[in-house]
Amino acid sequence: MPGVDHCLQEAMAIPGAVGASIVDYTTGFPVATTGAAPNSDHEAAAAGTADVVQAANSRALYVSALPHDLLEDLIITTAAGYHLLRMLRTDFDSRLVLYLWLDRVQGNLAVARRRMQKLADELVAS
Partner 1 sequence: MTVTATRTGSPGHLLTQVAGERASGVLVVGGHPGGAVFVLEGRVIYAESPAAPGVGELLTASGRLAARTWQNALDLGTSTARVGRLLVEQGHLTQGELELCVLGAIYDAAYFALSPASAPVEFLAGATHWLGPVVHVDPAAVDREVNRRVRLLDEIFPDARVDTSPVAPVPRPPRERVTLTAPQWELLVNADGQRTPADLALLLGRAGYATIQELRRMAAMGLIELPEVRPEGPELVRMPRTRGTAVDVQRPVVRPDGPAVPVITGARAAAAVPAPAIVAPPPSIPPPPEPAPEPAPEPPPDPPRHWPADETSGNQPVYRPPRLARRKPGARLPKELAGESPPVHQGTDEVLLKRIRTALRALR
**Site residues for partner 1 per CB under 8 A:** 1-4, 6-7, 22, 24, 26-29, 31-32, 43, 58, 88, 90-96, 122-126
Q: How far apart are CA 63 and CA 115, in angstroms?
A: 23
Q: What is d(CA 3, CA 105) in angstroms, rounded to the nearest whole number?
A: 30
Contact 123, 88 (CB under 8 A): yes
Q: Assess contact for 34 and 9: CB atoms under 8 A.
A: yes
CA proximity to 42, closest of 22, 27, 62 = 22
- Comparing CB distances to partner 1, the nearer of 94 and 108 is 94
Residue 89 beta carbon to partner 1: minimum distance, rounded to whole angstroms: 11
Closest CB to partner 1 among residues 16, 28: 28
CB of 69 to partner 1, least distance (A): 12
Cβ atoms of residues 82 and 104 within 8 Å: yes
- Residue 78 CB, shortest distance to partner 1, in Å, is 26
Q: Give whichever of 47 and 109 is closer to partner 1, judged by the CB atom.
A: 47
Which CB sits closer to partner 1, 109 or 124?
Answer: 124
> For residue 55, how many other CB atoms are within 10 A of its CB?
12
CB of 13 to partner 1, least distance (A): 16
